[in-house]
Homo-oligomer: A and B are copies of this chain.
Amino acid sequence: MRVNRIKQCWQEKKTAINAWLTIPSSWTAELLAHQGYDSLTIDMQHGLIDYTTALSMLQAISTTETVPLVRVPWNEPGILMRILDAGAYGIICPMINNQAEAEAYVAACRYAPLGMRSYGPSRVVLYAGNDYLIHANDTVLLLAMIETREALENVDEIVSTEGLDGIYLGPADLSLSLGLKKIGDYQEPIMQEAIDRILESLRRQRKFGAAHATNPQDAVMLAERGFNMVTPAHDTALLEAGAKQALIQTRQWLSL
C-alpha cells in the first residue's frame, strides 16, 4: 500500500505544511498540488465543494505525490465512508465535542474489528494498492477538530479515542465559542491557553496535532509551539488578496 507521507513526515519529526482548498475545481486542485505542499485539504464544510467535485479534485491531486486530505461537512457515516472510498488519505472531521462523537467518527472510518466502515474501496484501491484493506486502518489519517469550548473541556477524552491519530485546531470557531471578540486570533491569551492545553494532552497521549493558520506567520508560530502540521495557505484567500493587490497597485501607479 502507498505510504501516507504525512504520517511518514511525522515519524521523521518534520512539520507537514498543508494548503486549504475551497474552490470547487479540479484545475485549481491540480495547480496547487504542483506547488510542493505536503498535503492539500479539500474543504467540504466551508468550501464550495460537493462529493462529485471532491472526487475530481482527489483525482487531480493524485497526479502528484501531495497527500489528499478532506475536511468532511459533518460527522456523518455516509459521507465519511464515501470520501474514503474516493481516495482521501486522511480526514479532518469538524465539531468533535466529546468522546462519543469522536468514537462515532472513528468507527465510521475504520474497518472491523476496530470500526464498522463498510467495505468497497472503489477508487482508493487504484491510488493505494490492492492491499488497501490490510493497511487502511493504519495508514489513513484521522483528525478530530477541536473548535468549541465543550471540545476543549473534553480534549483528553477526545484525544484518547482509539484509532484517532490526533486533532486539528480550528481557531475561528473556537474563539467564537469562547466568546472572544476577535475571530481566530491566536494572540488572544485565552487562545494561547487553549493551545497549551491541547498540546499538553497530545504529548501526554502521544498523538498528533495540526492547526489552521491561513498565513505563514501564524503557521510558523504554531509549528514552533509544537504542532505537527500547519496550514499557511487558503486558495480563495490567496486569489482574492492577489487580485485586490494587482488592482490597487495598478490604480495607484496610474494616478501618480
Residues on A close to B: CB < 8 A? 15, 17, 19, 22-28, 30-32, 34-37, 45-48, 50-53, 55-56, 59-60, 62-63, 73-74, 76-79, 81-82, 85-86, 94-95, 111-113, 116, 118-123, 126-127, 133, 147-148, 172-173, 176-177, 179, 183, 215-217, 219-220, 223-224, 230, 232-233, 235-236, 238-244, 246-247, 249-251, 253-254
Contact = CB atoms under 8 A, between A and B. Distances in A.
A228 B212 CA distance: 43
A86 to B, nearest CB: 7
B74 A63 contact: no
A250 B126 contact: no
Given A30-B59, A45-B120, A52-B24, A233 B238 contact: no
**Total identical chains:** 6
A181 to B, nearest CB: 11
B51 A50 contact: yes
A56 B59 CA distance: 9
A17 B223 CA distance: 40
A243 B235 contact: yes
B243 A148 contact: no
Given A35-B244, A215-B246, A26 B116 contact: no
Contacts of A22: 122
A47 B244 CA distance: 21
Given A59-B63, A250-B219, A243 B111 contact: no
Nearest to A118: B173
B112 A251 contact: no
B126 A31 contact: yes
Nearest to A48: B27
9 contacts: A37-B243, A45-B81, A50-B50, A50-B51, A56-B59, A95-B118, A233-B246, A233-B247, A239-B242
